[in-house]
Structures are given as C-alpha cells and as structure tokens.
Amino acid sequence: MPTAILIDTDPGIDDAVALALAAKLPVLRIVAITTEHGNTDIDRATRNARLIASTAGITAPIIPGAANPLVREPHPARETHGAEGLGFVIPGQAAENEIDGAAEAIIAQVRGNHKLTVCCMGPLTNLATAIAFAPDIADALGPVFVMGGALGVPGTQTPLSEFNWWSDPEAADFVLHANLDLRLVPLDVTRRIAIPGSAIRALIEAGKADQEARFWADALRFYAEFHREYEHFDGCVVNDALAIALAADPSLAQWEEMRIDVSLSDDERRGAVRRSAAGGYATVATRVHAHQVLALIEKCVFSRWLPTGSLAQGAADADRWLAAAASRTIAE
C-alpha cells in the first residue's frame, strides 16, 4: 500500500523537480500539498505549486500557508529562483492573494491518515504552527523528512547556514524540540544530487519541439546560470528532490541519530546547525547513494527527453566540485 505523504513546499525550482518526482513514485500517495514563504512569496509559491501539480498530474489539494516566518521578515530567494520562482518560466496565470490555511490542513491530514509521512522542503513555519495549534499531532505523526540545515559543509545563505533554516530558525527550533520522528536531509547530502549541465543543454534542445521539456529547460537553465556564477559549477543541485527520494526509500542514504540545535542569532550563525547535548533528537542523513537517486529522478521526471544515464555524470561532477571547494576552504 502506498505511503500517504503531505508535502510542504515553497516552489522554487528544485521543489518543482521534487514534486514531479513524488507524483511518479508508486510507493507514495500525495494527500495534500501546503505552501509557504521561502524561495518566493506565498502567492507565487502557491500559484507555482498549482502549475507544477497540473503538469505532473497531481490531483491532491494545494493549500496556501504562511506568508511570513514566525517572528522575522520574509526574504525570497529571487536571485536563486527568479522573479516568479521558477527561473525563466513565466507562468500564464498571475499570482493571486492567498489565505493561510496550511496549519489547519496539516492538522486535519494528520488526524485523518494514521502515522502520516510529512516532507518539508522549505522553512518549517507551517509545521511549527500546526503543532503549536494542536500539540497532540506530534505523537500522531509518522516520519517527518526535512530538507534543511548544514552540518559539515558550507551553507547556502551564510557560510554557516542553509537557506530554509536561516529563513525561519525559530520554526526549525520549535520543530526540533517537538519530539517528532525527524529525518533531517541536510546540505551535506543534498549537494551531491546535481543535474549536469550536459543534461540541461539536452533539455533545451528538446524544448524546441516539446512544451513540457521547455518548461524544465527554462527552469533549470536559470538555476544552472546561478550555479555557474556563484558556485562555479556546470549544472544545478536539486536539494529538495533528495528529501522526496528518501521519503520513498530511506535506504538510499546512511543515517545517524544525533542531538542538534539551531542558532537563533542575528549574525552569520542565524539558522546554523550544531550538535548539542541539549538539542533535539534527529536522525540525520550523512551519506547518500547519489547515482541511484539521480537515476530515479531521470527515470521519473526526464526520461521522455534524456537518454538513460544522462544524469549519472552529475554525481561525479558534484564530488569533484565539493572536493575542490573543500580544498579552497582549507587553503584559505
């Protein structure tokens, strides 16, 4: 029987890949998608989620959520995901004013689905709010997969902090201490899930004759340009897709139980993760079978346009890129 899963997301280019992957995995049954601030504003995130769902054949309800972090101002990542949140894709429908109903939806889905799996691919505002409103759902939840944080690698927002946890560290702190079956998927493993530039160029070529291929080409081309300019990498990392892959098959990673906390400071440590004897318990992905994950993404999302093995190079490219970055850090 497929695993019932609620996906909390802020689309976002890698979120789009993750949602398309989830739609094609027979072991998952999407019961709802909730949206929030993060990669873009809540109105665009919700519009984008509906567009992606329509493209991927997802029929689950899409419920808009938090427009702001718990106590801070939102900071959309427009330099990373573009003005509309999907790179060079310009959706045909304008974003509309959305009304927050995500916390209530999460509560209802947890109570209606025994040990519901949740996959959070953006800031943790919606989940924290739902648990604050209904503390009983913490015990009723199944595994909660969270793409966020960085332990032994540089962050994406500051040298120490990953964007999702930097965006709403108070929500991350609340969730960490909610006694959940928390499965953390940090940058340490997600940065190995890279779509190589050669595959993106093949999608651009396919997009000349295929509208859906053009959608992916326009989204990933923007993402690749960002990675080339800021990361010196030919391709792009699809962080959120790993969280979905692991929700479907946790054996694709190696895991370690640890206690961690998150910094609530206002300096470059904001959102930073560290081991702490007083921290919350989490099961953390520490290594990933990147070739297998990329093969899964290729098969489920891109096989119509790419030959088998087109994404395999991404794992090796990411290994070299990360090794070179580590060498530069040591030299500095």
**Measured CA distances, 119 to 59, 148, 187, 249 (Å):** 17, 11, 16, 13
In a domain, residue 328? The reply is: no
What distance separates the 2 farthest-apart alpha carbons in the chain? 56
Would you state the structure tokens that stand for residue 255, as one six-digit string? 């895991």
- Domain limits at 35? 3-191+235-289
Concatenating the DSSP letter of every residue in 186-212 gives -HHHHTT-EEEHHHHHHHHHHTTT-HH
For the chain, the domain total comes to 1
In a domain, residue 206? The reply is: no
Q: Is the peptide bond before 148 cis (omega within 30 degrees of 0)?
A: no
As a whole number of angstroms, the distance between CA 32 and CA 104 comes to 12
Task: Determine how many CB atoms are found less than 10 A away from the CB of residue 27.
Answer: 11
As a whole number of angstroms, the distance between CA 57 and CA 145 comes to 23
Question: Are the C-beta atoms of residues 52 and 33 closer than 8 Å to each other?
Answer: no
Mean pLDDT throughout 286-309?
A: 97
In a domain, residue 57? The reply is: yes
As a whole number of angstroms, the distance between CA 208 and CA 225 comes to 19
In a domain, residue 47? The reply is: yes
In a domain, residue 216? The reply is: no
pLDDT in tens, 157-191: 999 999 999 999 999 999 999 999 999 999 999 99
Predicted pLDDT at 186 = 98
As a whole number of angstroms, the distance between CA 19 and CA 1 comes to 20
In a domain, residue 72? The reply is: yes
Question: Are the C-beta atoms of residues 151 and 176 closer than 8 Å to each other?
Answer: no
In a domain, residue 80? The reply is: yes
pLDDT in tens, 19-50: 999 999 999 999 999 999 999 999 999 999 99
Predicted pLDDT at 331 = 47
Q: Which CATH number belongs to the domain containing residue 248 in this structure?
A: 3.90.245.10
Which residues, 6 or more positions from 74, have their beta carbon under 8 angstroms from its beta carbon?
37, 38, 41, 67, 68, 167
In a domain, residue 196? The reply is: no
Predicted pLDDT at 330 = 45
Question: Are the C-beta atoms of residues 119 and 181 closer than 8 Å to each other?
Answer: no
Predicted pLDDT at 324 = 75
Pairing of strands 144-147, 117-120: parallel
What is the value of pTM for the model shown? 0.97
Q: Which contiguous run of DSSP H or E holds residue 62?
A: strand 62-63
Q: Is the peptide bond before 101 cis (omega within 30 degrees of 0)?
A: no
